[in-house]
Amino acid sequence: MLTVTANVFQTELGWMAFAGNRHGMTHLTFGHETEEAALIASESFPMAVLNDLPAWWEPAQSQLIAYAAGEQVDLSSIPVDLGPATEFQQLVRERVRGLGYGETASYGDIASDVGSPGAARAVGNIMARNPIPLVIPCHRVIGSGGRLGGFSAPSGLDMKRHLLAMEQRAESLF
């Protein structure tokens, strides 16, 4: 069994917590108003103490802090370890992870892109269970016609709107 540990820290998107093992990030939660709220949310992460933090740990935290501050950061360099998944789940996660900063795609687009047209609802289910939002940027996946769908951060759709607007503002500067 892999040893996992978590870290809680403050960002401009509220308190954030992530967990991971030597292979990569396993969980992420953000948008909490207090450190205690983030700690409580992180209690659901399966974890134990790592003796030595993996090399990816500190850069990942720095990237998340920069992203939360509105910097155009590519979080795809953060390694992830989501455990066993079906081929469809893996394809969907990889496709969504490939969405660039400020880019959006519909659930239907993602389904078609991974070779399963008509599986938009299945894509939505995968995104609803995404344990590492921002790193797998499920906020960039929207419903047909621009509808936002759901979002699991504490402030839900308000946070999704905020993230999309933040990315659009940053994109317009370049």
Q: Quickly state the pLDDT bin for 39 (edges 50, 70, 90).
A: confident
Q: Does 173 have pLDDT greater than 60?
A: no
Residue with tokens 């239907």, as numbered in its chain: 108
pLDDT of residue 174: 45
**What percent of the chain lies above the pLDDT cut of 90?**
64
pLDDT of residue 53: 78
Report the first-to-last Cα separation within the chain, whole angstroms.
45
**What percent of the chain lies above the pLDDT cut of 70?**
90
Q: What is the mean pLDDT of the chain?
A: 88
Helix (H) or strand (E) holding 163: helix 156-172
Three-class SS of residue 128?
Answer: helix
**CB atoms closer than 10 angstroms to residue 153:** 21
Q: Which residues of 52-68 are buried (b: 16+ CB within 10 A; e: fewer)?
A: eebebbeebbebbbebb
Which residue ranges form the domains of the chain, and what is each CATH number? 5-77 (3.30.160), 87-172 (1.10.10.10)
Q: Quickly state the pLDDT bin for 3 (edges 50, 70, 90).
A: low
**C-alpha to C-alpha distance for 64 and 92, rounded to whole angstroms:** 22
pLDDT of residue 154: 74
pLDDT of residue 146: 76
Q: Does 13 have pLDDT greater than 90?
A: yes
pLDDT of residue 144: 83
State yes or no: is 72 an active-site residue.
no
Three-class SS of residue 139?
Answer: helix
Alpha helices for 24-155 (secondary structure H): 35-42, 57-68, 87-97, 107-113, 120-128
Q: Which of 39-53, 57-71, 147-161 has the lowest mean pLDDT?
A: 39-53
Question: Of the residues 25, 41, 68, 138, which is catalytic?
Answer: 138
